[in-house]
Chain A
């Protein structure tokens, strides 16, 4: 089945530094990947849609200059949290689908990575 890998699984950084999280589709190509954020005891919220070879689409309220997304290849998307602050501490999760998730059938499913827990001190 489809596998999505995230790295690192957890990271601790100092306030003001930048952190990069990688999301890879291991056995399929993904023109689109999705980045979610989950705060403790809350549900997942979509942050942005990562598009291979073009700019990411950010959800309302998500600062694109703070959360930089690069989707340079069909198997890799990266999320960089720039100038991280304690309020950015969260669980970041990426997902992808082998199918055309943006325009395909409602039956298409997403495969999620295991998540990356960011703690900003």
Chain B
């Protein structure tokens, strides 16, 4: 499995953007970049995924570097409800075992 590296924690103020980096220098050409988040005492929740191009959805944006060795999850306006552990995971066809690392714990200050 290709591995990802994320900062352990990040803090943000409410209503401000949050940029969560993820390094994946050994990514293969067919690895998709997935982001899930886990709110306290909940199961993980899908956030966004992409392959090469930047992606936007109602929850967040995913910016992927041109060489694909890093990516950034962008929460445009953090709310208290966005406080969670965010996991950056690489997944290739046939990968059924999502490898959850330690993730980044996001704290949002009111």
Q: Which residues of A contact B94 (CB under 8 A)?
A: 102-103
Given known contacts A43-B102, A93-B44, A112-B44, A106 and B96 CB-to-CB distance under 8 angstroms: no
**B 87-110 to A, binary, CB cutoff 8 A, 1 in contact else 0:** 100011111111011110000000
Given known contacts A43-B100, A43-B101, A46-B98, A111 and B46 CB-to-CB distance under 8 angstroms: yes
A101 at the interface (CB under 8 A from B): yes
Main SS of the interface on chain B? Answer: loop
Number of residues in A with C-beta < 8 Å to the partner?
A: 29
Report the minimal beta-carbon distance from B40 to chain A, rounded to whole angstroms.
11
CB-CB nearest in chain A for B31: A106
CA distance A76 to B43 in the complex (A): 18
A residues with a Cβ closer than 8 A to B are 4, 6, 32, 34, 43-46, 49, 59, 91, 93-95, 101-107, 109-115, 117
Using A4-B43, A43-B100, A109-B49 as known contacts, list a sample of 15 further A-B pairs with CB atoms less than 8 Å apart, ordered by residue number in A: A34-B96, A43-B102, A44-B44, A46-B97, A49-B96, A93-B43, A93-B44, A104-B93, A105-B32, A106-B92, A106-B95, A109-B46, A112-B36, A114-B42, A115-B43
